[in-house]
Structure 1
Amino acid sequence: MKNKFILLDRDGVINVEKSYLYKIEDFEYEKNVIKGLQELRDLGYKFAIITNQAGIARGYYTEDDYLKLQDFIEKDLLKNGIKIEKSYFCPHHPNVEGKYGIECSCRKPNTGNFELAINEFDIDVKNSFMIGDKITDLIPAEKLGITSILIKTGYGLKSLEELKETGLKPMVVNDILDFSEKLKNNKK
């Protein structure tokens, strides 16, 4: 049996957008994240994070810095009964020098990390969702048949202005709790 998933961007969706966040002491949840994820869990969804981390390629922080913060976030969510099955991250950026300065398939809007998640967890794409605050979060989801959700937190309001030019048709919500409430009401 295939699994229903909520795929999540991290920065601006789970945590407050802070340019190139990597320090635990700078981490803070976006509003209504815990309650929203708990409701989605109760509706039978599993969770994975798919995030671009260009700060690694740009030399602002290391992969280890990213992994320490990610581990902290996942353990803290687990204390609240929310299990992140896996976090997929892209450390690359095509416009920098060095080992991370490559054109890759894992950097959103490419679909590489989405395809890895779908295959690894046997994700039911027709009954799963991607929550993101940028157009680049939504493109790979829609390409693969996953319903895209544009959240108004993080860069969401700016992305909302750009949406008309893209042809994308995401559901637009205020935050994760708003999305979980809409999903709950649709199930009734």
Structure 2
Amino acid sequence: MKKAIFFDRDGTLNEEVHFLHKIADFVWTEGAIEAIKFCNDHNYLAIVITNQSGVARGYYPEEDIMKLHQWMNDQLKGHGAHLDGIYYCPHHPEGIIGKYALKCNCRKPLPGMLLRAEKDFDIDMAKSYLIGDGARDVECAEAAGVKGIRYTGGNLYQALMDGMKEN
């Protein structure tokens, strides 16, 4: 079985931008690339899990999310790093786009995205971590049997190292 570090996206890997979907608005947080490279260099899968309710709300199409995530991996390649997986939840029960306007098990704090990644990659959840800026991220981690690390700003790599020592 493999171990993973799951990353929340908005407010963790990138600076918080409300309903981020444009590459031009994306800014890596300090230490984000180094945190991902740490995963790659130390036998952890680097996996993003992110709520993207802007799709259900009609603010942008799923294609924008996919383009942004491809761009992120392209940027990481230039640093000798990569994301192994990216999972997103386009749903929201109050959405206006019919097929996305629903309750689901993948919207954090529910653990659906983590559980899907566990199956897809054969992950040992007890040896894995999730780092995110919201209480719902830590709640999601706990629901999936993963150690949660609350990121409160600053250098993401350092926050990950400190959080892994504590857990």
TM-score (norm 2): 0.91
Q: 1:65: how far off?
A: 1.0
Over residues 36-70 of structure 1, what are the superposed CA-to-partner deviations in whole Å (9 max), with x where a residue is unaligned? 32233333211111110011111111101111111
Moved more, 63-72 or 37-46: 37-46
Which position in structure 1 is the counterpart of 2:79?
80
CA RMSD of aligned residues (A): 1.7
Secondary structure at the residue paired with 2:136? Answer: helix
Name the CA distance, whole Å, in 1 between partners of 2:95 and 2:162: 41
Identity %: 37
Q: How far apart in 2 are the matches of 1:19 and 1:184?
A: 29
Counterpart in the other structure of 2:115? 115
Distance 1:110 1:150 in 2: 17
Partner residue in 2 for 1:147: 147
Q: Is the 8 A contact 1:36 1:179 kept in 2?
A: no
Deviation (angstroms), 1:180: 4.2
- 5+ residue gaps, structure 2, are none
Q: Quote how far apart the aligned CAs of 1:85 are.
A: 1.2
User: With structure 1 as the length reference, what TM-score do the two structures score?
Assistant: 0.81
Residue 105 of structure 1, CA deviation? 1.0
Equivalent residues, number: 165
Corresponding residue SS for 1:70: helix
Which SS does the other structure have where 1:123 is aligned? coil
Give the Cα separation in 2 of the matches to 1:119 and 1:103.
Answer: 22
Query: CA distance change for structure 1 residues 3 and 21 in 2, over 3 Å: closer, same or farther?
Result: same
Structure of greater Rg: 1
